[in-house]
Protein backbone atom coordinates (compact mmCIF):
# COMPACT_ATOMS: atom_id res chain seq x y z
CA UNK A 1 0.00 0.00 0.00
CA UNK A 2 2.92 2.32 0.72
CA UNK A 3 4.27 1.64 -2.77
CA UNK A 4 0.90 2.49 -4.24
CA UNK A 5 0.87 5.71 -2.23
CA UNK A 6 4.27 6.63 -3.53
CA UNK A 7 3.03 5.82 -7.03
CA UNK A 8 0.13 8.20 -6.63
CA UNK A 9 2.46 10.88 -5.29
CA UNK A 10 4.89 10.34 -8.15
CA UNK A 11 2.07 10.55 -10.67
CA UNK A 12 0.81 13.77 -9.11
CA UNK A 13 4.33 15.25 -9.18
CA UNK A 14 4.63 14.17 -12.80
CA UNK A 15 1.39 15.92 -13.68
CA UNK A 16 2.56 19.09 -11.93
CA UNK A 17 5.88 18.96 -13.78
CA UNK A 18 4.19 18.44 -17.13
CA UNK A 19 1.82 21.33 -16.44
CA UNK A 20 4.70 23.52 -15.32
CA UNK A 21 6.70 22.59 -18.43
CA UNK A 22 3.71 23.23 -20.66
CA UNK A 23 3.14 26.60 -18.98
CA UNK A 24 6.80 27.46 -19.56
CA UNK A 25 6.57 26.42 -23.20
CA UNK A 26 3.42 28.51 -23.66
CA UNK A 27 5.11 31.46 -22.00
CA UNK A 28 8.09 31.16 -24.33
CA UNK A 29 5.83 30.78 -27.35
CA UNK A 30 3.47 33.64 -26.45
CA UNK A 31 5.73 36.10 -24.65
CA UNK A 32 6.77 39.26 -26.45
CA UNK A 33 9.93 41.21 -25.67
CA UNK A 34 10.21 44.68 -24.15
CA UNK A 35 10.42 47.69 -26.41
CA UNK A 36 14.02 48.59 -27.21
CA UNK A 37 15.57 51.94 -26.27
CA UNK A 38 15.43 53.02 -29.94
CA UNK A 39 11.77 52.06 -30.21
CA UNK A 40 10.84 53.97 -27.05
CA UNK A 41 12.68 57.04 -28.32
CA UNK A 42 10.90 56.90 -31.67
CA UNK A 43 7.51 56.41 -30.00
CA UNK A 44 7.83 59.46 -27.76
CA UNK A 45 5.23 62.00 -28.85
CA UNK A 46 6.37 65.62 -28.53
CA UNK A 47 4.57 67.81 -26.05
CA UNK A 48 2.10 70.06 -27.89
CA UNK A 49 3.19 73.58 -27.04
CA UNK A 50 2.73 75.01 -30.53
CA UNK A 51 1.58 73.88 -33.94
CA UNK A 52 -1.83 72.56 -32.89
CA UNK A 53 -3.70 75.51 -34.41
CA UNK A 54 -2.07 74.90 -37.80
CA UNK A 55 -3.11 71.24 -37.62
CA UNK A 56 -6.70 72.19 -36.74
CA UNK A 57 -6.77 74.76 -39.55
CA UNK A 58 -5.54 72.27 -42.13
CA UNK A 59 -8.01 69.60 -40.98
CA UNK A 60 -10.77 72.19 -41.44
CA UNK A 61 -9.39 73.57 -44.70
CA UNK A 62 -12.40 72.41 -46.75
CA UNK A 63 -15.23 73.48 -44.43
CA UNK A 64 -17.97 75.79 -45.66
CA UNK A 65 -17.30 79.51 -45.99
CA UNK A 66 -19.44 80.33 -42.93
CA UNK A 67 -17.60 77.81 -40.72
CA UNK A 68 -14.31 78.42 -38.91
CA UNK A 69 -11.57 76.01 -40.10
CA UNK A 70 -9.85 75.98 -36.69
CA UNK A 71 -13.03 75.29 -34.73
CA UNK A 72 -14.24 72.62 -37.15
CA UNK A 73 -10.76 71.09 -37.36
CA UNK A 74 -10.58 70.88 -33.59
CA UNK A 75 -13.97 69.13 -33.49
CA UNK A 76 -12.72 66.63 -36.05
CA UNK A 77 -9.52 66.05 -34.06
CA UNK A 78 -11.52 65.30 -30.90
CA UNK A 79 -13.69 62.83 -32.80
CA UNK A 80 -10.57 61.24 -34.28
CA UNK A 81 -9.15 60.74 -30.78
CA UNK A 82 -12.35 58.96 -29.71
CA UNK A 83 -12.26 56.71 -32.79
CA UNK A 84 -8.57 56.04 -32.22
CA UNK A 85 -9.22 54.90 -28.67
CA UNK A 86 -11.85 52.48 -29.96
CA UNK A 87 -9.45 51.25 -32.61
CA UNK A 88 -6.59 50.77 -30.16
CA UNK A 89 -8.91 48.86 -27.82
CA UNK A 90 -10.09 46.60 -30.66
CA UNK A 91 -13.59 48.03 -30.65
CA UNK A 92 -13.52 49.19 -34.26
CA UNK A 93 -11.44 48.78 -37.40
CA UNK A 94 -12.79 51.77 -39.31
CA UNK A 95 -13.38 55.43 -38.57
CA UNK A 96 -16.60 57.32 -39.17
CA UNK A 97 -15.17 60.80 -38.63
CA UNK A 98 -15.89 63.44 -41.23
CA UNK A 99 -17.25 66.91 -41.85
CA UNK A 100 -20.64 66.78 -43.65
CA UNK A 101 -19.90 65.97 -47.29
CA UNK A 102 -22.57 68.29 -48.66
CA UNK A 103 -20.94 71.27 -46.93
CA UNK A 104 -17.36 70.64 -48.02
CA UNK A 105 -15.70 72.92 -50.55
CA UNK A 106 -14.97 70.94 -53.70
CA UNK A 107 -12.99 72.15 -56.70
CA UNK A 108 -13.21 69.54 -59.42
CA UNK A 109 -13.89 68.97 -63.08
CA UNK A 110 -11.63 71.75 -64.33
CA UNK A 111 -8.96 70.69 -66.81
CA UNK A 112 -6.75 73.46 -65.50
CA UNK A 113 -6.37 71.52 -62.24
CA UNK A 114 -4.54 68.69 -64.02
CA UNK A 115 -1.51 66.95 -62.49
CA UNK A 116 1.46 69.08 -63.45
CA UNK A 117 3.74 66.10 -64.13
CA UNK A 118 1.42 64.60 -66.73
CA UNK A 119 1.82 65.21 -70.46
CA UNK A 120 0.41 68.52 -71.74
CA UNK A 121 -0.66 69.71 -68.28
CA UNK A 122 1.53 72.82 -68.41
CA UNK A 123 0.19 73.50 -71.92
CA UNK A 124 -3.34 73.34 -70.52
CA UNK A 125 -2.46 75.63 -67.61
CA UNK A 126 -0.68 78.32 -69.60
CA UNK A 127 -3.12 78.38 -72.51
CA UNK A 128 -6.19 78.58 -70.26
CA UNK A 129 -4.88 80.78 -67.43
CA UNK A 130 -5.43 84.18 -69.16
CA UNK A 131 -9.16 83.47 -69.52
CA UNK A 132 -9.64 81.51 -66.30
CA UNK A 133 -11.82 83.10 -63.63
CA UNK A 134 -9.86 82.65 -60.43
CA UNK A 135 -12.17 85.13 -58.70
CA UNK A 136 -15.02 82.69 -58.10
CA UNK A 137 -16.09 82.62 -54.45
CA UNK A 138 -14.65 79.19 -53.68
CA UNK A 139 -11.45 80.01 -55.55
CA UNK A 140 -10.91 83.15 -53.51
CA UNK A 141 -11.77 81.34 -50.28
CA UNK A 142 -9.31 78.46 -50.65
CA UNK A 143 -6.57 80.81 -51.87
CA UNK A 144 -7.03 82.96 -48.77
CA UNK A 145 -7.04 79.84 -46.60
CA UNK A 146 -3.81 78.58 -48.13
CA UNK A 147 -2.17 81.94 -47.51
CA UNK A 148 -3.36 81.76 -43.92
CA UNK A 149 -2.08 78.21 -43.48
CA UNK A 150 1.30 79.10 -44.98
CA UNK A 151 1.63 81.89 -42.41
CA UNK A 152 1.90 79.35 -39.58
CA UNK A 153 5.49 78.71 -38.52
CA UNK A 154 4.85 75.51 -36.57
CA UNK A 155 2.71 72.45 -37.14
CA UNK A 156 2.05 69.35 -35.10
CA UNK A 157 -0.25 66.38 -35.64
CA UNK A 158 -1.95 66.01 -32.27
CA UNK A 159 -3.61 62.66 -32.96
CA UNK A 160 -1.93 59.25 -32.94
CA UNK A 161 -1.55 58.75 -36.69
CA UNK A 162 -3.38 55.44 -36.86
CA UNK A 163 -4.36 53.95 -40.20
CA UNK A 164 -8.03 54.77 -39.64
CA UNK A 165 -7.43 58.51 -39.30
CA UNK A 166 -8.60 60.77 -42.13
CA UNK A 167 -5.87 62.93 -43.66
CA UNK A 168 -6.19 66.69 -44.17
CA UNK A 169 -7.72 67.74 -47.54
CA UNK A 170 -4.34 68.13 -49.23
CA UNK A 171 -5.78 68.08 -52.75
CA UNK A 172 -7.66 71.30 -52.05
CA UNK A 173 -4.44 72.97 -50.88
CA UNK A 174 -2.83 71.92 -54.17
CA UNK A 175 -5.73 73.46 -56.08
CA UNK A 176 -5.28 76.65 -54.06
CA UNK A 177 -1.56 76.72 -54.87
CA UNK A 178 -2.43 76.28 -58.55
CA UNK A 179 -4.81 79.25 -58.35
CA UNK A 180 -2.00 81.41 -56.95
CA UNK A 181 0.17 80.41 -59.91
CA UNK A 182 -2.67 81.02 -62.39
CA UNK A 183 -3.10 84.52 -61.01
CA UNK A 184 0.57 85.25 -61.61
CA UNK A 185 0.53 83.73 -65.09
CA UNK A 186 -2.26 86.21 -65.85
CA UNK A 187 -0.20 89.07 -64.41
CA UNK A 188 2.71 88.13 -66.66
CA UNK A 189 0.42 88.01 -69.70
CA UNK A 190 -0.63 91.57 -68.88
CA UNK A 191 2.97 92.78 -68.93
CA UNK A 192 3.70 92.48 -65.19
CA UNK A 193 6.31 89.73 -65.39
CA UNK A 194 8.53 91.23 -62.69
CA UNK A 195 5.67 91.36 -60.18
CA UNK A 196 4.59 87.84 -61.13
CA UNK A 197 8.08 86.50 -60.46
CA UNK A 198 8.31 88.33 -57.12
CA UNK A 199 4.95 86.83 -56.10
CA UNK A 200 5.95 83.28 -57.08
CA UNK A 201 9.29 83.58 -55.31
CA UNK A 202 7.42 84.64 -52.17
CA UNK A 203 5.05 81.68 -52.58
CA UNK A 204 8.04 79.35 -52.86
CA UNK A 205 9.46 80.80 -49.66
CA UNK A 206 6.19 80.14 -47.82
CA UNK A 207 5.97 76.58 -49.13
CA UNK A 208 9.46 75.94 -47.79
CA UNK A 209 8.29 77.06 -44.35
CA UNK A 210 5.35 74.63 -44.52
CA UNK A 211 7.68 71.86 -45.68
CA UNK A 212 9.96 72.48 -42.72
CA UNK A 213 7.12 72.62 -40.22
CA UNK A 214 4.92 69.66 -41.20
CA UNK A 215 5.34 66.34 -39.41
CA UNK A 216 3.16 64.36 -41.82
CA UNK A 217 4.91 62.32 -44.53
CA UNK A 218 2.13 62.76 -47.07
CA UNK A 219 2.10 66.48 -46.29
CA UNK A 220 5.84 66.64 -46.96
CA UNK A 221 5.32 65.12 -50.41
CA UNK A 222 2.37 67.41 -51.17
CA UNK A 223 4.28 70.59 -50.34
CA UNK A 224 7.32 69.35 -52.26
CA UNK A 225 5.12 68.84 -55.32
CA UNK A 226 3.62 72.32 -54.93
CA UNK A 227 7.15 73.68 -54.63
CA UNK A 228 8.26 71.80 -57.76
CA UNK A 229 5.31 73.12 -59.76
CA UNK A 230 5.94 76.69 -58.60
CA UNK A 231 9.58 76.48 -59.70
CA UNK A 232 8.54 75.14 -63.12
CA UNK A 233 6.00 77.94 -63.63
CA UNK A 234 8.62 80.50 -62.61
CA UNK A 235 11.06 79.07 -65.16
CA UNK A 236 8.51 78.97 -67.99
CA UNK A 237 7.44 82.58 -67.33
CA UNK A 238 11.05 83.77 -67.15
CA UNK A 239 11.80 82.02 -70.42
CA UNK A 240 8.58 82.97 -72.22
CA UNK A 241 8.77 86.68 -71.50
CA UNK A 242 12.56 86.99 -71.72
CA UNK A 243 12.62 88.41 -68.22
CA UNK A 244 15.91 90.08 -67.40
CA UNK A 245 15.57 90.54 -63.64
CA UNK A 246 17.97 87.97 -62.11
CA UNK A 247 17.00 85.69 -59.26
CA UNK A 248 18.57 82.85 -57.33
CA UNK A 249 16.92 80.22 -55.15
CA UNK A 250 18.90 78.57 -52.39
CA UNK A 251 18.79 74.80 -52.47
CA UNK A 252 16.82 73.20 -49.66
CA UNK A 253 18.85 72.58 -46.53
CA UNK A 254 19.22 69.32 -44.64
CA UNK A 255 16.87 70.73 -42.00
CA UNK A 256 14.18 71.53 -44.58
CA UNK A 257 14.55 68.09 -46.16
CA UNK A 258 14.73 66.19 -42.88
CA UNK A 259 12.05 63.54 -42.48
CA UNK A 260 12.63 63.05 -38.76
CA UNK A 261 9.29 64.22 -37.39
CA UNK A 262 7.36 62.65 -40.28
CA UNK A 263 9.09 59.27 -39.98
CA UNK A 264 8.57 59.23 -36.22
CA UNK A 265 4.89 59.84 -36.88
CA UNK A 266 4.83 56.93 -39.33
CA UNK A 267 6.67 54.73 -36.83
CA UNK A 268 4.02 55.46 -34.20
CA UNK A 269 1.32 54.60 -36.72
CA UNK A 270 2.98 51.26 -37.54
CA UNK A 271 3.33 50.48 -33.85
CA UNK A 272 -0.38 51.10 -33.26
CA UNK A 273 -1.18 48.93 -36.29
CA UNK A 274 0.92 46.06 -34.95
CA UNK A 275 -0.64 46.33 -31.51
CA UNK A 276 -4.19 46.38 -32.87
CA UNK A 277 -3.57 43.45 -35.20
CA UNK A 278 -2.12 41.33 -32.42
CA UNK A 279 -5.59 40.79 -30.97
CA UNK A 280 -7.52 40.95 -34.21
CA UNK A 281 -9.52 37.92 -35.33
CA UNK A 282 -8.96 39.12 -38.89
CA UNK A 283 -5.17 38.98 -38.61
CA UNK A 284 -4.78 36.03 -40.97
CA UNK A 285 -7.80 36.51 -43.17
CA UNK A 286 -11.08 38.40 -43.16
CA UNK A 287 -12.88 35.21 -44.13
CA UNK A 288 -11.20 32.89 -41.62
CA UNK A 289 -11.45 33.98 -38.00
CA UNK A 290 -9.00 32.27 -35.65
CA UNK A 291 -8.58 32.62 -31.88
CA UNK A 292 -6.24 35.48 -31.00
CA UNK A 293 -3.79 33.20 -29.19
CA UNK A 294 -2.89 31.88 -32.67
CA UNK A 295 -1.76 35.42 -33.51
CA UNK A 296 0.37 35.50 -30.38
CA UNK A 297 2.08 32.26 -31.32
CA UNK A 298 3.39 33.66 -34.61
CA UNK A 299 3.38 37.43 -34.13
CA UNK A 300 5.13 39.55 -31.49
CA UNK A 301 4.37 43.26 -32.07
CA UNK A 302 7.12 44.64 -29.82
CA UNK A 303 9.72 42.33 -31.30
CA UNK A 304 8.62 43.32 -34.80
CA UNK A 305 8.70 47.06 -34.12
CA UNK A 306 12.15 46.63 -32.56
CA UNK A 307 13.33 45.11 -35.84
CA UNK A 308 12.12 48.22 -37.65
CA UNK A 309 13.46 50.82 -35.20
CA UNK A 310 17.09 50.47 -36.27
CA UNK A 311 16.18 50.93 -39.94
CA UNK A 312 14.05 53.95 -39.08
CA UNK A 313 16.84 55.58 -37.06
CA UNK A 314 19.21 55.04 -39.96
CA UNK A 315 16.74 56.56 -42.42
CA UNK A 316 16.16 59.59 -40.17
CA UNK A 317 19.91 60.20 -39.85
CA UNK A 318 20.40 59.98 -43.62
CA UNK A 319 17.45 62.29 -44.27
CA UNK A 320 19.46 65.14 -42.73
CA UNK A 321 22.59 64.62 -44.84
CA UNK A 322 23.53 66.47 -48.03
CA UNK A 323 24.35 65.24 -50.61
CA UNK A 324 22.37 62.01 -50.56
CA UNK A 325 23.98 59.10 -48.74
CA UNK A 326 23.21 55.52 -49.77
CA UNK A 327 22.24 53.11 -47.03
CA UNK A 328 25.39 51.21 -46.06
CA UNK A 329 23.72 49.41 -43.15
CA UNK A 330 21.85 46.60 -44.85
CA UNK A 331 22.16 43.92 -42.17
CA UNK A 332 19.03 41.94 -41.38
CA UNK A 333 18.20 41.32 -37.70
CA UNK A 334 18.19 37.83 -36.28
CA UNK A 335 14.61 36.64 -36.41
CA UNK A 336 12.97 34.58 -33.70
CA UNK A 337 11.29 31.35 -34.71
CA UNK A 338 8.45 32.48 -32.44
CA UNK A 339 7.81 35.58 -34.58
CA UNK A 340 7.39 34.18 -38.07
CA UNK A 341 4.57 36.55 -39.04
CA UNK A 342 6.41 39.50 -37.53
CA UNK A 343 9.54 38.73 -39.55
CA UNK A 344 7.46 38.66 -42.74
CA UNK A 345 5.80 41.99 -41.87
CA UNK A 346 9.18 43.54 -41.14
CA UNK A 347 10.67 42.41 -44.45
CA UNK A 348 7.65 43.86 -46.27
CA UNK A 349 7.82 47.20 -44.46
CA UNK A 350 11.58 47.82 -44.13
CA UNK A 351 11.87 49.26 -47.66
CA UNK A 352 8.51 51.05 -47.77
CA UNK A 353 10.03 54.40 -46.84
CA UNK A 354 13.24 54.13 -48.84
CA UNK A 355 11.80 55.92 -51.87
CA UNK A 356 10.82 59.00 -49.88
CA UNK A 357 14.39 59.94 -49.09
CA UNK A 358 15.76 60.17 -52.66
CA UNK A 359 12.52 61.78 -53.83
CA UNK A 360 12.83 64.63 -51.36
CA UNK A 361 16.50 65.11 -52.28
CA UNK A 362 15.66 65.34 -56.00
CA UNK A 363 13.92 68.72 -55.55
CA UNK A 364 17.37 70.30 -55.30
CA UNK A 365 18.11 69.04 -58.82
CA UNK A 366 15.26 71.21 -60.11
CA UNK A 367 16.52 74.21 -58.13
CA UNK A 368 20.12 73.73 -59.34
CA UNK A 369 18.88 73.55 -62.94
CA UNK A 370 16.89 76.76 -62.47
CA UNK A 371 19.86 78.62 -61.04
CA UNK A 372 22.21 77.29 -63.70
CA UNK A 373 20.03 77.86 -66.77
CA UNK A 374 19.07 81.40 -65.87
CA UNK A 375 22.42 82.54 -64.53
CA UNK A 376 23.48 83.15 -68.16
CA UNK A 377 20.84 83.45 -70.88
CA UNK A 378 23.36 82.33 -73.48
CA UNK A 379 23.52 78.90 -71.94
CA UNK A 380 19.98 78.04 -73.00
CA UNK A 381 19.99 75.61 -75.89
CA UNK A 382 23.65 74.80 -75.34
CA UNK A 383 25.48 72.45 -73.02
CA UNK A 384 24.88 73.16 -69.35
CA UNK A 385 27.29 71.66 -66.85
CA UNK A 386 26.59 71.90 -63.16
CA UNK A 387 26.98 70.11 -59.87
CA UNK A 388 24.23 67.54 -59.45
CA UNK A 389 23.20 68.27 -55.85
CA UNK A 390 21.93 64.73 -55.43
CA UNK A 391 25.33 63.15 -55.96
CA UNK A 392 27.61 66.16 -55.52
CA UNK A 393 29.26 65.49 -58.88
CA UNK A 394 29.76 67.60 -62.02
CA UNK A 395 27.40 66.54 -64.80
CA UNK A 396 26.02 67.65 -68.14
CA UNK A 397 22.33 68.41 -68.20
CA UNK A 398 20.20 66.77 -70.88
CA UNK A 399 17.71 68.78 -72.93
CA UNK A 400 14.43 67.02 -73.61
CA UNK A 401 11.16 68.25 -75.07
CA UNK A 402 10.43 71.58 -73.34
CA UNK A 403 12.61 70.74 -70.36
CA UNK A 404 16.14 70.17 -69.12
CA UNK A 405 17.05 67.28 -66.83
CA UNK A 406 19.73 65.66 -64.70
CA UNK A 407 19.82 62.04 -63.70
CA UNK A 408 18.38 60.92 -60.39
CA UNK A 409 18.38 57.66 -58.44
CA UNK A 410 14.78 56.55 -58.94
CA UNK A 411 11.97 56.89 -61.43
CA UNK A 412 11.07 60.58 -61.56
CA UNK A 413 7.32 60.39 -60.93
CA UNK A 414 6.85 64.08 -60.10
CA UNK A 415 9.33 65.77 -62.43
CA UNK A 416 11.77 66.71 -59.65
CA UNK A 417 14.81 65.83 -61.81
CA UNK A 418 13.81 68.20 -64.59
CA UNK A 419 13.07 71.89 -65.07
CA UNK A 420 10.22 72.90 -67.35
CA UNK A 421 11.30 75.58 -69.86
CA UNK A 422 8.35 75.68 -72.22
CA UNK A 423 5.07 73.94 -72.93
Q: What is the pLDDT of residue 110?
A: 82
Mean pLDDT of all residues in 3-7: 54
With a cut of 80, say whether residue 12 has pLDDT above it: no
- Among 19-23, 110-114, 268-272, the range scoring the smallest mean pLDDT is 19-23
Q: Measured on CA atoms in the order 92, 95, 97, 100, is the torsion positive or negative?
A: negative
Q: What is the pLDDT of residue 245?
A: 80
User: Which residue would you say has higher pLDDT here, 286 or 147?
Assistant: 147
d(CA 354, CA 409): 11
SS (H, E, C) the chain: CHHHHHHHHHHHHHHHHHHHHHHHHHHHHHCCCCCCHHHHHHHCCCCCCCCHHHHHHHHCCCCCCCCCHHHHHHHHHHHHHHHHHHHHCCCCCCCCCCCCHHHCCCCCCCHHHCCCCCCCHHHHHHHHHHHCCCCCHHHHHHHHHHHHHHCCCCCCCCCCCCCCCCCCCHHHHHHHHHHHHHHHHHHHHCCCHHHHHHHHHHHHHHHHHHHHHCCCHHHHHHHHHHHHHHHHHHHHHHHHCCCCCCCCCCCCCHHHHCCHHHHHHHHHHHHHHHHHHHCCCCCCCCCCCCCHHHHHHHCCHHHHHHHHHHHHHHHHHHCCCCCCCCCCCCCCCCCCCCCHHHHHHHHHHCCCCCCHHHHHHHHHHHHHHHHHHCCCHHHCCCCCEEEECCCCEEEECEEECCEEECCCCCCCCCCCCEEECCC
User: Does the residue 278 lie in any domain?
Assistant: no
User: Does the residue 183 lie in any domain?
Assistant: yes
- pLDDT > 70: what percent of the chain? 84
With a cut of 50, say whether residue 1 has pLDDT above it: no
Q: Which pLDDT band, with edges at 50, 70 and 90, does 27 fall under?
A: low
User: Which residue would you say has higher pLDDT here, 166 or 278?
Assistant: 166
Mean pLDDT of all residues in 389-395: 86
Mean pLDDT estimate for the chain: 86
User: Does the residue 156 lie in any domain?
Assistant: yes
pTM of the model: 0.87
Q: What is the pLDDT of residue 329?
A: 62
User: Does the residue 405 lie in any domain?
Assistant: no
Q: What is the pLDDT of residue 92?
A: 65
d(CA 132, CA 112): 9
User: Does the residue 22 lie in any domain?
Assistant: no
Mean pLDDT of all residues in 247-253: 91
The residue segments making up the domain with residue 219 are 52-254
Give the chain's domain count.
1
pLDDT (tens digit, 9 = 90+) per residue, 32-42?
889 999 999 99
Q: What is the pLDDT of residue 386?
A: 85
With a cut of 70, say whether residue 23 has pLDDT above it: no
User: Does the residue 77 lie in any domain?
Assistant: yes
Query: Is 301 in contact with 32 (CB distance < 8 Å)?
Result: yes
Tell me which range, 21-30, 230-239, 288-297, 374-383, is most confidently predicted by mean pLDDT: 230-239
User: Does the residue 189 lie in any domain?
Assistant: yes
Q: Which pLDDT band, with edges at 50, 70 and 90, does 377 fall under?
A: very low
Taking CA 347 as the corner, what is the angle to CA 342 and CA 352, rounded to the nearest 5 degrees?
120
Q: What is the pLDDT of residue 32?
A: 85
With a cut of 60, say whether residue 3 has pLDDT above it: no
Q: What is the pLDDT of residue 285?
A: 61
pLDDT (tens digit, 9 = 90+) per residue, 285-331?
656 666 777 777 788 899 999 999 988 998 898 888 877 776 666 66
Tell me which range, 295-299, 360-364, 391-395, 408-412, is most confidently predicted by mean pLDDT: 360-364
Q: What is the pLDDT of residue 5?
A: 54
Mean pLDDT of all residues in 52-66: 96
Query: Is 88 in contact with 275 (CB distance < 8 Å)?
Result: yes
User: Does the residue 158 lie in any domain?
Assistant: yes
d(CA 25, CA 276): 25
Mean pLDDT of all residues in 350-358: 82
Q: What is the pLDDT of residue 107?
A: 85
Q: What is the pLDDT of residue 385?
A: 81
Amino acid sequence: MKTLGLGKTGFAVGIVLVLALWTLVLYILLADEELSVDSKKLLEKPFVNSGAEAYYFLMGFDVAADDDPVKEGKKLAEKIKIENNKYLNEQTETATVSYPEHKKIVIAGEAIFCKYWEDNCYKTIFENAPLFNEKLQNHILITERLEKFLSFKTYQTITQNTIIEPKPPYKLTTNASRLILIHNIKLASLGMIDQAEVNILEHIKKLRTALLATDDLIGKMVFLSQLAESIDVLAVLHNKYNAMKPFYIDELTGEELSLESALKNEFRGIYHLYQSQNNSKNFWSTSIKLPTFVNHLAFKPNMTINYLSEDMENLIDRSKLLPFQNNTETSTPTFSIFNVAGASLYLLSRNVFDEYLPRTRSINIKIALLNSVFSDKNLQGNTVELINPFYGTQEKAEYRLNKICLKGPIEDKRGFNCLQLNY
